[in-house]
Amino acid sequence: MKLIKYPDPILSTKCAEVVNGDEKTSEILNEMSQKLYEWSGAGLAAPQVGILKRMVAIDIRETPSQLYKLINPQIVWKSEKMIESNEGCLSLPILRVEILRHESVVVEYLDDNFVKRRVTANGFLSCCLQHELDHLDGILYIDRLSKLKKSRAIKKFEKLQMEEQGEK
């Protein structure tokens, strides 16, 4: 598995549902979880490793830590209340941008044994779930910005990338 970075068109592609019983699913989720820790992310969606299937691994590093492996996740409820979320994305290294997210969400998903589960999330976990689930629809967090803010964010990202390459 290798990390797919912006502006690869894979990241703007809508992912397909995972078919119940697909053998490779738990293998893929295990490898995604390993990569999540290796790359020090809070969440990783399958398209970020080039797999166009609806799968996500999340661990927001709380104590005790909890690893979520989500198959075909869906937001079934979201709060009206929004919060500012300072976000980054493994596929857009270094860049951080303030985004508005729902403070709370309820997400239904299948775990890696295809058992139906539901998580109620607030704050950072809620924002992280919204960020990762967007990836499955080909939406990046910068796509949630106004046109002007998005073009500023992309310019900043390109500048950061150039600076980093200059330092190497």
List residues binding Zn ion (CB under 5 A): 89
Of 44 and 110, which CB lies nearer to Zn ion in the complex structure?
A: 44
Q: What are phi and psi of 129, to 5 degrees?
A: -60, -45
Instruction: Supply the minimum distance, in Å, between the C-beta of residue 45 and Zn ion.
Output: 7
Instruction: Supply the minimum distance, in Å, between the C-beta of residue 23 and Zn ion.
Output: 27
Distance, in Å, from the CA atom of 6 to the CA atom of 89, rounded to the nearest integer, reads 10
Contact 36, 85 (CB under 8 A): no
| Residue from 17, 38, 108, 132 carrying the catalytic annotation | 132
Of 18 and 57, which CB lies nearer to Zn ion in the complex structure?
A: 57
Calculate the dihedral angle through the C-alpha atoms of 161, 8, 99, 160, rounding to the nearest 10 degrees: 0
Q: Respond yes or no: is residue 132 known to be catalytic.
A: yes
Instruction: Supply the minimum distance, in Å, between the C-beta of residue 115 and Zn ion.
Output: 26
Q: Which residues contact 163 (CB under 8 A, 6 or more apart)?
A: none
Distance, in Å, from the CA atom of 143 to the CA atom of 62, rounded to the nearest integer, reads 28
Of 55 and 89, which CB lies nearer to Zn ion in the complex structure?
A: 89
- By annotation, the residues acting in catalysis are 132
